[in-house]
Amino acid sequence: MISNLKQHITGTFNYRSKLLLRFLKWIIISLFIGAVMSVVGFSFRVMLSFVTGFRESHTFVIYFLPLAGLFIVFCYKTLGFYHDKGTNLVLLAVRNNEKMTLRTMLLIFSSTIITHLFGGSAGREGAALQIGGSFGASVGRFLRLDEKDMRIITMCGMSAGFSSIFGTPITSAVFSMEVTSVGIMHYSALVPSVLSAVAAQSLTSFFGADSVGFTVKGIPDTDLLSILKVVILAALCAVIAEVFVITLKAFHHIFQRIAPNKFVRIMIGSAVLIILTLLVGSQTYNGAGVDVINSAFSEKTGWQVFLLKLLFTAVTLGCGFKGGEIVPAFFVGAAFGNFISPILGLDYSFGASVGLIGVFCGVTNCPLASLFMSVELFGIKGIVLYALVCAVSYMLSGYRGLYNSQKIVYSKTKTEFIDKRINE
């Protein structure tokens, strides 16, 4: 009996010692990645702000968009990225240990800046995930981590990159664990992801980056009528999310068919963007469009706003410019919610928040990350309604999404294992 007790104590001690060492290892790694990504993310945000301001005050630079596009294609081809997978590469790195290098980080950083400088309509989260994932994977190779830890450190980098650029640490951590294989959560990455995200956001704020947030007016009481209206609006957001994804995929295939050569393709896309900008008469839909997203919470928008942003983004990303799809999805969602909500008897400001969260959830298939985002962006008030929005949008948006490498592990409507690729 004494011998068994000694073995039990020894076994417990060994287990706890290994657990503590592993915990300390990830504390150090996570803080390091968070610290480095805070510098990278802050620099990225400063440069994006600068080039956006420069473009808005020197509107003629849009005529150089074709040259910018040619330069981006040349850089990717010269550095061996003949078939760039974009954000899909990060998801494959987590699930299949697809190799990511620092070249990926440098390319997406510079090409996204160039896209925004010359008037491409794109976001920044694609860059955030690729920059963070590339850096995390590079650190993992340097430390000679095993295959399983490489997946964790890649998610750690994704969380830090997303958090440093968006300023939403909890959303960033949950998103990196949820987005790859929807239906399961890689809880082994919980400590590294949360810690790196919090560190990155805290240091970025320390450097002077503004916090992301919106003031939402007109949040209704949680009564039966309000719930019914929110369900209808969330269902419409799911439809818009599907339209968003289908449109982006369609334009990508159209450009590929019209111009198999990437240099020709991006030249054609640049010409279309210039013509569209001249027809609209302003650069409202060029760049990320953060100002329009902000204004959707304080003033009414027209029906054409979300449609034009969708068109500009589809052309930009379809022809080969770099950036992300999530900020444009924010734009489309907020503008759509702002426009349609008064028809349902809801405040346009609250409608903008529902649209933003609902479309984000629909295009990413990440209901938990979407719910945390509602809290980080809008505050705790209305969380019950936002939870309902995420649930409805997730269920009704179907098996489509922005990232072809994403998998839905379990059915959205049954307790059934399906392991289904997105958009199949």
- Report pLDDT digits (tens) over 178-230: 998 888 888 889 999 999 999 999 999 999 888 788 999 999 999 999 999 99
- Type of residue numbered 141: R
Give the gyration radius of the chain's Cα atoms.
22
The encoded tokens of residue 330 equal 């924010």
Whether residue 357 contacts residue 389, with contact meaning beta carbons closer than 8 Å, is answered with: yes
Class assignment of domain 10-207? mainly alpha
pLDDT at 257: 95
Q: What is the pLDDT, as a whole number, of residue 105?
A: 82
222-249 pLDDT per residue, tens: 999 999 999 999 999 999 999 999 999 9
Residue 81's SS3 state is coil
Residue range(s) in the chain whose domain bears CATH number 1.10.3080.10: 10-207, 224-421
Q: 3-class DSSP state for residue 419?
A: strand
Residue range 388-420, pLDDT digits in tens: 999 999 999 989 999 888 888 888 888 888 888
Q: Could you give phi then psi for residue 75, rounded to 5 degrees?
A: -65, -45
Angstrom distance (rounded) from CA 246 to CA 73: 24
Q: What is the mean pLDDT of residues 370-385?
A: 95
pLDDT digits (tens, 9 = 90+) for 321-343: 998 889 999 999 999 999 999 99
CATH architecture under which domain 224-421 falls: Orthogonal Bundle (1.10)
